[in-house]
A = this chain, B = another copy of it.
Amino acid sequence: MAIDRRDCEAQDRDDPLAVARQRFELPDGTLYLDGNSLGALPRGVAERVGRTVREEWGRDLIGSWNTAGWYAAPGRVGAMLAPLLGAAPDEVTITDSISVNLFKLLVAACRMRPDRTEILAEAGNFPSDNHIVESAARMLGLTTRFVAASEIASAVGPRTAVATLSHVNYRSALMQDMTAVTAAIHAAGALAVWDLAHSSGAVRLDLTASGADFAVGCGYKYLNGGPGAPSHVFVARRHQAAFDQPLQGWFGHADPFRFDAGFTAAPGIRAALCSTPPMLSLVALEAALAAFEGIDMARLAAKGRALCDLFVSLADERLAPLGVELASPREGARRGSHVSLRHPDAYGAVRALIARGIVGDFRAPDAMRFGFAPLYIRFVDVFDAAEAIRDVLGSRAWDDLPPVEAGAVT
């Protein structure tokens, strides 16, 4: 029996998380399915950033490093975020970009396995991760090996110092079993560095129970921290004493205001910091996290899965006849909170959808990617998106549309 829009309306009425949508400033006329690239603007962020600019910076000036809590902000915001990751508050901090942080973690982890010669990494991971893998290996004199995410557990071996992969793949949304893969990596004597870019804020994470050693994540996707929001870093408490990362700057120093010539790493997670954080971007992320207040992450992840399940069902029912293929796992338990579809006309279709205010993104050569951020996407949105995709693929009305350029920053 065909899925009906009224069924979706009923699901929205029954959704205990529906209220969270009110925490966002969503523009009229846009159906936004790209929260996996850039999360929507949470209410309160503009006010907080404005206050930071006018009062903390403009009026209180340098004193705000203390009085406005700027100095403590990386750890404070990290501690706020930690419950969303299933980590302890003193295991998470906010700093730099995800690629810069991955470099720190890979080098630090390899230094903990000095007798090993290889970094094992996920073929098909977000390319920036693997560019950093290559660079870290080059600097450390190690080899690299790239295998599919599904093969990491079997490929990890006695030469492997570190294995790194994404928890949720940026294209396919394939989600790894973090506990099982980490256990396999540990069984081989190696360390696990997880990329949570498409996980944090969207799917259930329990870094502690999963045994993860290190992780990086993204502030501007499902955490809604704003364009280029700083990244988060997780270092398991058991590794913090030996943590020795290469971007050792004064913000990671045990006593930065002594201005010692020599470097002594700060105890704990602060050693993951390098230098003065971009405060306007950092306070935006802090204010954005308020959108998660009182939200049960298991329930949020379940909603995300239900949204994606609905989209997959609609794609099967209404889009497969037009030649659309599912490029994400069918099984919800193995999928993050976005869905990729393949079609030869994906590029045209994405542009035609954007022209109608339905925003997903295109990934060459033939993928349409739609993110279903469970904090603010409704079941009717999923229905409407699927109908619009059907419509644009049927009408093929994209020849005169402007190109999609660099736009979609994953």
Contact = CB atoms under 8 A, between A and B. Distances in A.
Interface of A: 25, 27, 30, 32, 34, 37-38, 40-41, 45-46, 49-50, 53-54, 56-66, 70-71, 96-100, 103, 107, 123-124, 126-128, 130-132, 134-135, 138-140, 146, 220, 226-230, 246-250, 253, 256-261, 263, 274-282, 284, 354, 359, 361, 363-364, 405-409
A34 B59 CA distance: 13
Contacts of A66: 405-407
Given A127-B253, A220-B276, A259-B364, 20 more contacts: A32-B61, A46-B50, A49-B50, A61-B359, A65-B408, A65-B409, A66-B405, A71-B405, A97-B275, A123-B261, A128-B253, A131-B248, A131-B250, A139-B139, A228-B278, A228-B279, A230-B278, A276-B409, A280-B284, A281-B281
Contacts of A132: 247-249
8 contacts: A41-B53, A41-B54, A49-B280, A71-B406, A98-B275, A99-B249, A139-B139, A228-B278
B226 A279 contact: yes
Contacts of A263: 127, 131, 134-135
Contact of A99 (B54, B134, B250): B250
A220 B71 CA distance: 15
Contacts of A96: 96-97, 100
B226 A280 contact: yes
A356 to B, nearest CB: 13
A125 to B, nearest CB: 9
A57 B253 contact: no
A54 B38 CA distance: 14
Contact of A140 (B53, B123, B139, B226): B139
A23 to B, nearest CB: 13
B41 A46 contact: no
A401 B11 CA distance: 60
A70 B226 CA distance: 12
B284 A127 contact: no
Contacts of A227: 56-57, 64-65, 70, 276, 278-280
B62 A359 contact: yes
Nearest 3 Cβ contacts at the A-B interface: A99-B249, A41-B58, A278-B281
A146 to B, nearest CB: 8
Contacts of A59: 27
Contacts of A229: 278
Nearest to A54: B46
A41 B57 contact: yes
A32 B53 CA distance: 17
A250 B127 contact: yes
Contacts of A250: 99, 126-128, 131
Contacts of A280: 49, 226-228, 278, 280-281, 284
Given A132-B249, A227-B70, A248-B131, A100 B274 contact: yes
A406 B257 contact: yes
Given A27-B59, A27-B61, A62-B34, A53 B359 contact: no
Given A140-B139, A274-B100, A226 B407 contact: no
B279 A62 contact: no
A406 to B, nearest CB: 4
Contacts of A34: 61-62
A58 B46 contact: yes
Contacts of A146: 261
A226 B406 contact: no
Contacts of A103: 246-247
A323 to B, nearest CB: 23
A340 to B, nearest CB: 13
